[in-house]
Chains A and B, each alone.
Chain A
Amino acid sequence: MNTSEATQFGFLDEFAKKEIRRTVLKAIAIPGYQVPYSSREMPMGRGFGTGGLQLTLSIIGRGQTLKVIDQGSDDSVNAVNLRGFIESVCPSVNTTTNTADADLIQSRHRIPELALTENQVLVLQVPYPDPLVIVEPSEEKRKIMHGEADYSRLLVKLYEDIVHFDEVTISHRYPTCINGHYVIDPSPIPRYDVPKLDQSKALVLLGAGREKKIYAVPPFTDATPLVFDDQPFHIENFIDQDGQRRACQQCGSTESFLDEYMDAETQTLVFQCSDTDYCTRYLSSRNNGALHSNTELDNSAEAVELAND
């Protein structure tokens, strides 16, 4: 018996997978509702993406292609470790960094820049699934509030922000109402990514391993950030002091979500795409002299459509 066959395909036993699969179907049927599940022990600490990992392992089948990203990057430590683990327990699964090639994308804290298609599933790792936890400590009471779609105290919290700071100060995990009823914590994606959930072509599944919850944003479903009529929702705009949209210092794109960091040598602020796959492709298409418009890049043979709305 070789090592790859000594381990159960997908690491989880079939009973664990079946439970998660039943939970996923319920989560899709009740958009935005946090369905409890048993959340098995994984060979890594809870809080390191075990919820997303259990979803991926229960869904993925032989011959399918997986992409794993952490904050948009294929190469940061959480993504590398999760990908390595999945490769070792799912020997016939292919992995890729190319967003367009992936059947399933497991992500920590970002939705890829490239618009996802109907044939793709996005799995988001969730640390804190319940947006009401900041206003109500008791889960029993929160469940009643969710059932009644009573989010008045959450709105008061947003209102207090506006009173104190003239704007809602939530930068990520922005409370988002799904299909007009349940408000979800969309995981720590930046505000920039929240509009991508609305009428998304791809199914979005969210898994919180430590908190033992699975919920979903089905495709073609309304996902509306909580706002007031006179306080519209803003996304990060990356405008500098001169009113110019900042560009990625690596690829030059002015249409992507940028990470901001301090260059250790020059002590200056640097902005760079957080989605490394997008950045690499944008750069190579520019180097190839390909014309790019706002909506399309000619990337060798295939046209890659960018999510830049």
Chain B
Amino acid sequence: MSYDLLSNADQESQHYHLDSIWYADTQNEIFQSLMQAMSRPGSIHNLESRLGKSNTVTAVLATLSDAQVTACNHDSLITDEDWSLSQCQTVSADKAGYIVCDGSLPCSINPSQGSLVSPELSGTVIVSVKKLANELTATSQDDRLWRLSGPGVDGVIDVGVSGIDSSWIHQRENWNSEFPLGVDLIVVSETSVLALPRTTKVECLT
């Protein structure tokens, strides 16, 4: 698809009506945030300036997806138009490489955890939540404070996540009980992204 090969400069000059997240330069910038997020669990990366009119969850999918990717739009967070632009093959959640989920709903998926010889064949879950912050004032039942440790974390780091059902952390623990098998999470809020690779230990403080 030709849109993918256009630079942001082309976008301005040729009046394509595609949002910036579908262009190579923006996707490079979003990828760099994802790479930092994945290598430093608990670090929160603001994507606001890259989003244009799109939302964060679509931006993350756009950055990772092409025709080789299998994905599942589990809670229909991605519009049909954006879903087809991502070019991904639609499959069920247990077979998908990427699963887009609404974190406010109880976790009802069982993604692939990969195999012992090929742990990379696991699903990555993109979970949409209300808010991410490095500190939290617990005001509602859905506000959680997590203490993270493991590779990528210098000691421990605390993150506050609003609007995630408690089942997610419980399920994640089940999925990741047998390293190297496991499921990596990319948690996105309206503006920001953080990642929980399978190696990260999460202690629920609230």
Contacts and interface: CB of A to CB of B under 8 A. Distances in A.
B104 interface: no
Contact of B35 (A8, A9, A59, A140): A59
B116 A148 contact: yes
A160 interface: no
B25 interface: yes
A220 B184 contact: no
B95 to A, nearest CB: 16
- Name the residue in B28, B116, B119 with the highest tally of chain A Cβ atoms < 10 Å from its Cβ: B28
A61 B197 contact: no
A28 B39 contact: yes
Given A8-B5, A25-B35, A61-B25, A15 B151 contact: no
Contact of B68 (A19, A24, A144, A222): A19
Contact of A28 (B7, B179, B197): B197
B94 interface: no
A221 B66 contact: no
Nearest to A34: B120
A218 B39 contact: yes
B206 interface: no
Contacts of A153: none
Interface residues of B, number: 41
Interface residues of A, number: 42
B40 interface: yes
Interface string A9-47: 100011101110111111011110101100000000000
Contacts of A203: 35-36, 39
B108 to A, nearest CB: 23
A234 interface: no
Nearest to A118: B40
B116 A25 contact: no
Contact of B180 (A18, A21, A33): A33
A9 B151 contact: no
A9 B199 contact: no
A33 B65 CA distance: 22
Interface in B16-75: 24-25, 27-29, 31-32, 34-36, 38-40, 63-69
A33 B118 CA distance: 9
Interface in A144-168: 144, 146-148
Nearest to A179: B151
A29 B24 CA distance: 24
A170 B55 CA distance: 51
Given A28-B35, A28-B38, A221 B152 contact: yes
Contacts of A36: 120
A83 B11 CA distance: 29
B144 to A, nearest CB: 22
A35 B184 CA distance: 15
B28 A61 contact: yes
Nearest to B115: A147
Interface of A: 8-9, 13-15, 17-19, 21-26, 28-31, 33, 35-36, 59, 61-62, 118, 121, 140, 143-144, 146-148, 179, 181-182, 203, 216, 218-222
Interface of B: 4-5, 7, 24-25, 27-29, 31-32, 34-36, 38-40, 63-69, 115-120, 124, 151-154, 179-180, 182, 184, 197-199
7 contacts: A9-B24, A26-B184, A62-B25, A143-B118, A147-B115, A203-B36, A221-B152
Given A14-B24, A203-B36, 10 more contacts: A21-B64, A22-B64, A25-B124, A28-B152, A28-B197, A30-B182, A30-B198, A59-B28, A147-B117, A181-B180
